[in-house]
Chain A
Amino acid sequence: MMLAWRLLWRQRKAGELWIMLSALLLAVATVVAIAIFAQRIQSSLLSEAGALIAADLQVSGSEPLPDSVLALAERNNLIQSQSMNFQATLITDAGLQLGAVRAVDNLYPLKGDLTISAQPFGEESLVQGGPAPGELWLVSRLFSVLGLEPGDSLRLGDVELRATQAIIREPDSAGAFFGVNPRVMMNLEDVPSANIQGAGARIRYQLSVVGSESDVQNFRSQLEAQYPELRISSPRDSSDAIANALDSGQRFLLLAGSMAVILAGVAVALASARFGHRQANTVAILKSLGLGPAAILRLYVQQFVLMGLLAISLGLALGWSLHALLLWLLRDFFPQQIAAASLAPLGLGFATGWIALLGFALPPIWRLRQISPMAVLRQNQLGAKGQWQQWLFGLLAIIALLWFYSRDAQLTLYVLLSLAVMVLLLLLVAWALLYLARQLSRSSSKFWRLGIANLYRHRRFNALQLVVFSVTLMLLYLMVLVRTDLINSWQQQVPDGAANHFAFNLYQEDLPAFERWLDEQQVQAQPLYPVIRGRFHSIAGETLEQRTANLGDRSGEFSRELNLTWSEHLAADNQLLAGQWWPQGYDDQELLVSLEESWARALNLELGDYIEVRVGGLIERARVHNIRSVDWQSFNPNFYLIFNQPLLDGFGATYLTSFYLPPEQKPSLNELVRAQPNVAIIEVDAIINQVRDIVDRISAAIEFILLLVLAAGSLVLLASVLATLDVRMRESALLRALGAGRALVRGLLSIEFLALGLLAGLMASLGAQLAIIALQTQVFDLSWRWYPSLWLLGPMLAALLIWGLGSLATARVVKIPPLWVLRQ
């Protein structure tokens, strides 16, 4: 071990050792930084998303929750807050109003912000904990509906409470939208004296908890096993948009991380191949001095272990610092309290380092032991050529790294297959392009002719280098494109001006006044949809129970009361998947129904099947005329069932719509509800802002991860340029010794690198375009498209990048005396 250490230490001035070390160090650092960063951001976002349900997890049931559930939460170290939800009538001298009451304890909300105001629609203030006993808080519009001033008393059940504050925003308002009465909040302690429990009211008992990710997860799985009747919901369940962004974000980070891992591995491979090559002569000398093959292997393995320990521990530290730096740079985007990191990413970095060392660096070293000591007498015996075992080892290492990193067999297979196809194709194309370039250059200037001739002379090596450049650039371009696409598609989910308020419970006679108010506010609303409540009676000749018998928990979705509507037009965010939309004019035609796709699938309904719905004591029979998809994330009114003509002749229908109201016009809602107390307004601007906020944060995280991948890619490019440095140095020195000026040598090198970059960029653009089509359609559920700018900018950027890196790395070539190089 001592000899190994001494030799290693004495060779500290040898360049290849440093490339090797830095490649390994960066491989480990990149992986660790990405993994820790991604992990912490992910848990933070998830934890932030907890604001949507005011907790990390909610458990609810129609009976008081058993003490054992509370004890279970206690055992899992979770902070608990209890609440009850029920409908109750609020009574004042001015009138009655049914309210959606939430009775909370002092800990509510465990996550997110509860905002109240001393005056309806007044100045907002944040508050921790719900109303004190004896107090009641109500949404602003209820004050006018009930003719209340802050401080006035009102009756709820058997208890008299004082309306002290207006509720402006509650974190978990995203729950159920329709059929919900205006929010009222009271203290849990007042519930017994209100005595509503005895009145047969439907009460939901709810437990909210917060805690560490693993504790919450444990609690959840124990609950699911022991109390199947309880309803459990997490932030993911509350918003498709957020679940979607979190999922795609996670997949992107995984993909980007895998790319970084592969790139870093390739950098290690390139550097160690060069290290091995440069060590060949040393090995021959050491053998002549009396070291046998086993001793040589031992010596180098020990050197590698030492180097590995050094590079990996430095890499772990660097990766940790890098992620801390990222968090610091992004401090405005992320919350102050960010989730703590686990040790797992460090383990990942540690394993990555050793796998890279074993798979990529060991093979060239393994071969060193076979070098004949005769090489000290005959230099030509040094050329131990690359062997297939080396490639096999590298491939195994890539598989191991990918699998280890993603734990996703499908992703590993996809990436491997596409890389394999890519490399084979690229090798073919590279040879052809080099040949073509040589043919073309015959008729061009001296510079180009010589430069291309140089490329062609080392075509075997250059083809390989071209492949490394192309694949690296392809991965980088791909990441840039996917990121842009993802971020765009997320932002489109909640476009500026998306509806942020729902108005419902509008009667036919309210419509003129409501439309007048919309005009006054210059607000563009979605169409007004009539709504009648009804239930399924039969489906394709079967009862609902028969039809939904095998749907398990989902059957409840179909047995509850449904919002039924009718319309002449297909909504803009709906798409027909089967059948035709009906022509305008209802008249005396047959009753037809349009079905949302997930329901059509669940109920196994096809075009031409009949369904029956019970509406207001009558049974209406309708034929399924078309099936459509619905964008549930659009914040527009959407329906599972749409009929072609009014049910019950439209009798008793109420109307609903959604619209965008700019924040500064919010006080006008006051006028609306004061003038039309029937109208119920749901403000979804809070949840829209929250969705947008989270999307922005994931986007920012992705941008920075991309930077890290770019760094790993640049390292590969640099290692690859450095791999040919010896040959280029020697050739340039020879040219200069023969009388070529610095300008000529520099020019030749520039042309080589520019041509290499241009070819690599072209192939990378082709590869990236093909790969992104696959990714968009298979992984991210986006639609594919062409990228003309990629084809233009891709080759140009690549040429500049490779030229820049190459010129930088070979700057020394034209500066040092030729004799020095030739003597080495």
Chain B
Amino acid sequence: MATPIIRTEQLYHEVTSGSERLQILRGIDLSIDQGTSVAIVGASGSGKSTLLGMLAGLDRPSSGTIWLADQPISQMTEEQRAKVRAHNMGFVFQNFQLLTSLTALENVMLPLEVKGSQQAESKAKEFLSRVGLGQRLNHYPSQLSGGEQQRVAIARAFACEAPVLFADEPTGNLDGQTGQVITDLLFSLNQEQKTTLVLVTHDMRLASRCQRVLTMDSGLLKEAV
């Protein structure tokens, strides 16, 4: 039986906006097995990005517990969570989130260097070649198209060889055709690396390529059948 790599128990999150209190997550119980791919879909404002942020340890829930690789990350300080992220997670974002002052190669090397990897450069080059940007190592993000920027982001996410990959609307800023190419790349690399993939999207075609699809609605999570 597969072991869960991510698990949540009664996850609640609320924020105050002025005098108003908004319940974003309302008791999420979730378990994601290692090596599987899970899509979280839902309308804008349904809380799916918040959930992704919580699962990745980018923020802490108001109550409830999150385990990642058997570590209770919801109870950890930001410092400890950062350490967990460095060794266990990769990210792909809707707006790419590349550092504009670094070249494609330097952007991919960055998380490797943060981890203290000795082969940062060779590994970064290898992954950039695998996403088809072997010839554009020294280009800056502003010199790359949106699709190319997202490919750099994907290379950055996989180069760390982290067990879990979080993707937030990875094709949200791209046209249909480019989005398709990026999706193919994402899933083929995911398969090769045996990574656990958690992605948030409102694109049902993208979601349908995952093994599981969860629907977020007003802070509640339902499994699609």
Q: Do chains A and B stick together as partners?
A: yes
Chain A contacts to B: CB under 8 angstroms: 3, 6, 10-11, 13-14, 281-282, 284-295, 372-374, 376-379, 820, 823-824
Residues on B with C-beta less than 8 A from A376 are 58, 91, 93, 97
Give the residue name and chain of the A residue nearest to B82 (CB).
A292
**Residue among A10, A13, A282, A372 making CB contact with B58, cutoff 8 Å:** A372
Q: Taking the complex as formed, is B49 at the interface, i.e. its CB lies under 8 A from any CB of chain A?
A: yes
Check B79–A3 contact: CB distance below 8 A.
no
Q: Taking the complex as formed, is B9 at the interface, i.e. its CB lies under 8 A from any CB of chain A?
A: no
Interface of B: prevailing SS:
helix
Instruction: Report Cα–Cα, A372/B56, bound state, in Å.
Output: 13
Give the residue name and chain of the A residue nearest to B93 (CB).
A376
Check A377–B58 contact: CB distance below 8 A.
yes
Check B82–A295 contact: CB distance below 8 A.
yes
B142-180: which have CB < 8 Å to A?
142, 168
Check B78–A289 contact: CB distance below 8 A.
no
Most interface-central of A288, A292, A293 (chain B CB within 10 A): A288
Instruction: Report Cα–Cα, A435/B99, bound state, in Å.
Output: 39
Check A289–B101 contact: CB distance below 8 A.
no
Residues on B with C-beta less than 8 A from A379 are 95
Query: What are 26 A-B residue pairs whose CB atoms fall within 8 Å in the complex?
Result: A3-B113, A3-B114, A10-B101, A10-B103, A11-B101, A285-B97, A285-B99, A286-B110, A287-B58, A288-B58, A289-B86, A289-B111, A290-B83, A290-B111, A291-B82, A291-B86, A291-B114, A292-B78, A292-B80, A295-B82, A372-B59, A373-B85, A374-B59, A376-B58, A377-B168, A824-B142
Q: Taking the complex as formed, is B27 at the interface, i.e. its CB lies under 8 A from any CB of chain A?
A: no
Residues on B with C-beta less than 8 A from A290 are 82-87, 89, 111, 114-115
Most interface-central of B83, B100, B140 (chain A CB within 10 A): B100
Residues on B with C-beta less than 8 A from A286 are 110, 114
Most interface-central of A289, A292, A293 (chain B CB within 10 A): A289
Q: Taking the complex as formed, is B53 at the interface, i.e. its CB lies under 8 A from any CB of chain A?
A: yes
**Residue among B58, B84, B106 making CB contact with A374, cutoff 8 Å:** B58
Check B93–A377 contact: CB distance below 8 A.
yes
Check B114–A10 contact: CB distance below 8 A.
no
Q: Taking the complex as formed, is B102 at the interface, i.e. its CB lies under 8 A from any CB of chain A?
A: yes
Instruction: Report Cα–Cα, A281/B93, bound state, in Å.
Output: 13
Q: How far is the CB of A814 from chain B (nearest CB, A)?
A: 19
Q: Taking the complex as formed, is B30 at the interface, i.e. its CB lies under 8 A from any CB of chain A?
A: no
A377 and B82 in contact (CB under 8 A), knowing A286-B114, A289-B114, A291-B114?
no
Q: Taking the complex as formed, is B52 at the interface, i.e. its CB lies under 8 A from any CB of chain A?
A: yes
Interface string of B42-72 (1 = CB under 8 A from A): 0000000100110010110000000000000
Extra A-B contacts (7), CB below 8 Å, given A281-B97, A289-B91, A373-B82:
A3-B114, A13-B101, A14-B101, A290-B115, A291-B82, A292-B83, A376-B97
B72-126: which have CB < 8 Å to A?
78-87, 89, 91, 93, 95, 97, 99-103, 106, 110-111, 113-115
Q: How far is the CB of B50 from chain A (nearest CB, A)?
A: 8
Residues on A with C-beta less than 8 A from B82 are 287, 290-293, 295, 373
Residues on B with C-beta less than 8 A from A823 are 142
Check A378–B91 contact: CB distance below 8 A.
no
Give the residue name and chain of the A residue nearest to B156 (CB).
A289
Q: How far is the CB of A777 from chain B (nearest CB, A)?
A: 53
Instruction: Report Cα–Cα, A377/B83, bound state, in Å.
Output: 19
Q: How far is the CB of B69 from chain A (nearest CB, A)?
A: 14
A10 and B142 in contact (CB under 8 A), knowing A3-B114, A285-B97, A377-B52?
no
Q: How far is the CB of A381 from chain B (nearest CB, A)?
A: 9
Instruction: Report Cα–Cα, A531/B92, bound state, in Å.
Output: 101
Residues on A with C-beta less than 8 A from B53 are 374, 377
Instruction: Report Cα–Cα, A373/B83, bound state, in Å.
Output: 13
A293 and B79 in contact (CB under 8 A), knowing A377-B93, A377-B168?
yes
Give the residue name and chain of the B residue nearest to A293 (CB).
B78
Instruction: Report Cα–Cα, A281/B87, bound state, in Å.
Output: 21
Instruction: Report Cα–Cα, A379/B96, bound state, in Å.
Output: 12
Residues on A with C-beta less than 8 A from B102 are 10-11
Residues on A with C-beta less than 8 A from B91 are 288-289, 376
Q: How far is the CB of B160 from chain A (nearest CB, A)?
A: 8
Residues on A with C-beta less than 8 A from B100 are 14, 824
Residues on A with C-beta less than 8 A from B106 are 10
Instruction: Report Cα–Cα, A285/B58, bound state, in Å.
Output: 11
Instruction: Report Cα–Cα, A13/B139, bound state, in Å.
Output: 13
**Residue among A282, A374, A378, A820 making CB contact with B99, cutoff 8 Å:** A282
Instruction: Please give me the 5 A-B residue pairs with the lowest Cβ-Cβ distance, nearest first.
Output: A290-B86, A292-B82, A292-B79, A14-B101, A290-B85
Give the residue name and chain of the A residue nearest to B59 (CB).
A374
Residues on B with C-beta less than 8 A from A284 are 97
Give the residue name and chain of the B residue nearest to A288 (CB).
B91
Give the residue name and chain of the B residue nearest to A15 (CB).
B101
Q: How far is the CB of B161 from chain A (nearest CB, A)?
A: 13
Residues on A with C-beta less than 8 A from B52 are 377
Residues on B with C-beta less than 8 A from A293 are 78-79, 82
Q: How far is the CB of B196 from chain A (nearest CB, A)?
A: 17
Check A6–B99 contact: CB distance below 8 A.
no
Instruction: Report Cα–Cα, A376/B89, bound state, in Å.
Output: 14
Check A294–B97 contact: CB distance below 8 A.
no
Q: How far is the CB of A268 from chain B (nearest CB, A)?
A: 21
Residues on A with C-beta less than 8 A from B59 are 372-374
Residues on A with C-beta less than 8 A from B80 are 292
Give the residue name and chain of the A residue nearest to B109 (CB).
A6
Most interface-central of B78, B79, B93, B103 (chain A CB within 10 A): B78
Q: How far is the CB of B77 from chain A (nearest CB, A)?
A: 8
Give the residue name and chain of the B residue nearest to A375 (CB).
B58
Q: How far is the CB of A287 from chain B (nearest CB, A)?
A: 6
Check B79–A294 contact: CB distance below 8 A.
yes
Residues on B with C-beta less than 8 A from A824 are 100, 142
Q: How far is the CB of A729 from chain B (nearest CB, A)?
A: 13
Give the residue name and chain of the A residue nearest to B90 (CB).
A289
Give the residue name and chain of the A residue nearest to B57 (CB).
A373
Residues on B with C-beta less than 8 A from A373 are 58-59, 78, 82, 85
Residues on A with C-beta less than 8 A from B49 are 377-378
Residues on B with C-beta less than 8 A from A294 are 79
Instruction: Report Cα–Cα, A824/B58, bound state, in Å.
Output: 24
A288 and B85 in contact (CB under 8 A), knowing A13-B101, A374-B58, A377-B58?
yes
A6 and B113 in contact (CB under 8 A), knowing A288-B58, A377-B49?
yes
Residues on A with C-beta less than 8 A from B83 are 290, 292
